[in-house]
Amino acid sequence: MSADHPDDKPKDPTQTTRPARPTLIAAEDERARKTRDIRESPPAPEADRWSPVAPVAPGPIRGTVGYEQGVLDPALVARTEVDPPAADPRAVAPTLDSGPELEGLTQPGFGAHHCPVCGAFAQHLVKCTECGHVFEDPRLGSIVSGRYRVDSLIGAGGFGRVYRGTHLTLGEPVAIKFLLEEFSNRPEQRARFKREAVALAKMRHPSIVAVHDYGEHLGELYMVMELVRGTQLFDCIRDDKGALMPVERVCALVDQLLGVLEVAHALGIVHRDLKPENVMLLQTEDRRDHIKVLDFGLALMNDRLGGDRLTATRAIQGTPIYMSPEQCRGRDVGPPTDIYATGVMLFELLSGAPPFEGDSVPDIMAKHMYVEPPTFAEKGIATVPPGVEAALLSALAKSADERPTAREFRDKLALALRGDDDASKLANQTQARVENAALTREQRALVEASAEHAARPRDSIAPPVDGAMPRVYLWWSDTAKAESLRGALAVHGVNGVVWKHETGPSEAVLGKRPGKVFIVAGDVSLERVKALRADALTSKLPILVLDATAATPEYIRAGASDVAAPGATHETVCKQIVRLIRRGR
């Protein structure tokens, strides 16, 4: 029977099977006395006792849900009894040293209680927001199993409370997680709590939160973990100005997450509840991104690890926004389930929103099962490389068999960032065809010949010397950049002349100091290419364009011989200049 069922009768705290502490008995009696009228209210109509999963409060549905006897179609959920909705996972992260702004927050759901003085729902774990009554926490200051002191409350989740503690012998800070009291006598919840501890203990990875101890104290299950200092990945999706993280940084974070999944899946462990709220971005001295994956409370383990498959085949558990199609249907889940959730997270990090959202859980689940995810073009996002999008879409395949493994997903992202994947190559070929479509046959031949020549390997970049270094003119309004390139050219045996005038060199100048190549750059580079081609003195000289401000076809039509890639290094530009000197126009 659900904890929120109106037919539930108040439990007598003196009848509990676990040892009761005197400080808790008084609190239980007081709470029972103050809330008796609430709990003995008339039962709700039968129609109100059964309902599909619904959000706790208006807004995006991000909490974890769990209920048995899930149906294949969300439209048929009308008679599904639902466990009480879990707390908003953004409010509390296990082992999170969250600071005062997050400490003590809770949401309606498991572990929720009412103020013993005024009866209002306790929206804060420390004091009542209605009457100001300060709640007593008998755990604070207590010693657990003679080894750990409980110092302060970090927060509470759907099944437990997390405290900051101290190892008495070592003096090191730790995180101590207790199973909530109302679940201490429920075998399934006790087994789930133990399962999380076993899963964490079996895995050894720098990006997995470490568990140091597990046991039972005064009838309460607890586990001791490393205290993680950082920020939930959900809070890092956008910065203070609303900007998303760069693609390269996002892929690096996801690569770390996939590394964790490689280890977990190799051990037969499936997380089952991956989401940005369960990934911590750590605060480190080296200023590099490091993550920690938290909350293996819903993890599935195979029998060889000693774990039991506590959830039935038709059980539905997870966070709807990140649940795979097979998870929504209540079918057996496996490593592909985690890959799907990782794909949803990657989509959210790159676009700022998950691929599927809705006003209700059945609506979201139906989209996961039947609707194809939107493309980044449909979202108006043009910064994601095509290879990254292709890898992401493979992770979001409706069929679990079509999704990559964690290792394959990592390899796909690495290839995409280098531009070596099939999708990126195809996109580049398509772009080249579009750019060349407007050129004449002679102009296309010039572009193709230039590209072929640029790709031809050279044993030496130094041009042949015939008694004097070949001269090139640097017609560049940015004198500093021109002088910098001039120095690089000198190393390669080329004499660079910085030309600072508004018009090209006169016949007298070129007669005394003839040039082999003209380099033009800046805002008026297109006009200067046209001017050089219109002048009989320079009409046959090669022209290289740097810092292009127009499209490549426009420069080719104007008469440019080659256009350097944006951001090209001096080494690359010098090689292009040497090739132009060797072959002429």
Contact in structure between 163 and 227 (CB atoms under 8 Å): no
pLDDT score of 551 more than 70: yes
pLDDT at 39: 39
Average pLDDT of the chain? 74
Distance CA 562, CA 554 (A): 12
Residue of 83, 137, 273, 338 marked active site: 273
Is pLDDT larger for residue 464 or for residue 93? 464
Is there a catalytic annotation at residue 289? no
Task: Give tens-digit pLDDT for 165-183.
Answer: 999 999 999 999 998 877 8
Closest CA to 364 of 87, 49, 60: 60
pLDDT score of 410 more than 60: yes
Is pLDDT larger for residue 85 or for residue 533? 533
pLDDT score of 486 more than 80: yes
Percent residues over pLDDT 90 in the chain = 29
Contact in structure between 355 and 374 (CB atoms under 8 Å): yes
Which residue reads 């796909």 in tokens?
412
Looking at 3.40.50.2300, 3.10.580.10, 3.40.50.1820, 2.30.29.30, the CATH number of the domain 439-583 comes to 3.40.50.2300
pLDDT score of 113 more than 60: no
Mean pLDDT of 545-559: 89
pLDDT score of 442 more than 60: no
pLDDT at 68: 36
The answer to which of 6-20, 333-347, 491-505 has the lowest mean pLDDT is 6-20
Could you give the residue ranges of the DSSP H alpha helices within 276-329? 325-328
The class level of CATH for 234-426 reads mainly alpha
pLDDT at 156: 75
Place 158 in a pLDDT band, splitting at 50, 70 and 90: low
Is pLDDT larger for residue 203 or for residue 224? 224
pLDDT at 420: 83
pLDDT at 302: 57
Contact in structure between 201 and 305 (CB atoms under 8 Å): no
CB atoms closer than 10 angstroms to residue 153: 17
How buried is 554 (Cβ within 10 angstroms: 0-12 exposed, 13-18 middle, 19+ buried)?
Answer: middle
Most confident of 145-149, 519-523, 579-583: 145-149
pLDDT score of 325 more than 70: yes
Domain ranges of the chain: 234-426, 439-583
Which run of H or E residues covers position 343?
helix 335-351
The answer to which of 211-220, 257-266, 381-390, 489-498 has the lowest mean pLDDT is 489-498
pLDDT score of 340 more than 90: yes
pLDDT score of 216 more than 60: yes
Task: Give tens-digit pLDDT for 130-141.
Answer: 887 777 788 889
The answer to which of 25-34, 74-83, 497-506, 518-527 has the lowest mean pLDDT is 74-83
Distance CA 470, CA 268 (A): 67
Q: 288's torsion region: left (phi>0), alpha (psi -120 to 50) or beta?
A: beta
